Amino acid sequence: MHRILLSIALVGASVALAGCNQSSGAPGPVAAAPGPRLPNWPALPENAACTESLNNYQKVLTADVATGNLNQSVYDKIEADLARAANACAAGREGEAAAIIRSTKVNHGYRA
């Protein structure tokens, strides 16, 4: 009789402990991390190489901030340089814009 009661107690304890490992359903909603602020660039020429370079680099930066691969403070520094490049691009100074973009990529570890 003592053995039966001990077995029942062990089974009951096992069931009680197993219940601690189960989740209470679906996880609650997770707030999305805020993305980077979009740059405030002047209107860029539609078919200029510098426009394409700026837009492509911006896509990479936005993705890197969203995934946590790029710190917001570093993003802000890069954006200050890209604003200068965007102003040069908008003014038709593609060579200057390309040089700023390349320098910024190299300085921050991106493939130029």
DSSP structural state of residue 22: S
φ and ψ of 39, to 5 deg = -70, 150
> Per the domain annotation, does 22 fall within a domain?
no
Please state the length of the chain.
112
Task: State the average pLDDT over residues 1-7.
Answer: 53
| 20: pLDDT strictly greater than 60 | no
Residue 94 is inside which H or E element, if any?
Answer: helix 94-107
Question: Model confidence over 56-96: pLDDT tens digits?
Answer: 999 999 999 999 999 999 999 999 999 999 999 999 999 99
How high is the pLDDT of residue 40? 87
> Per the domain annotation, does 9 fall within a domain?
no
Helix ranges restricted to H, 28-93: 49-66, 72-90
Average pLDDT, the chain: 81
Containing structural domain, residue 54: 49-107
> Per the domain annotation, does 3 fall within a domain?
no
> Per the domain annotation, does 5 fall within a domain?
no
How high is the pLDDT of residue 31? 45
C-alpha 51/C-alpha 44 separation (Å) is 6
Closest CA to 42 of 98, 99, 82, 74: 82
Domain count, the chain: 1
C-alpha 32/C-alpha 41 separation (Å) is 26
> Per the domain annotation, does 16 fall within a domain?
no
> Per the domain annotation, does 30 fall within a domain?
no
> Per the domain annotation, does 32 fall within a domain?
no
How high is the pLDDT of residue 39? 84
Confirm whether pTM is higher than 0.85. Answer: no
> Per the domain annotation, does 102 fall within a domain?
yes
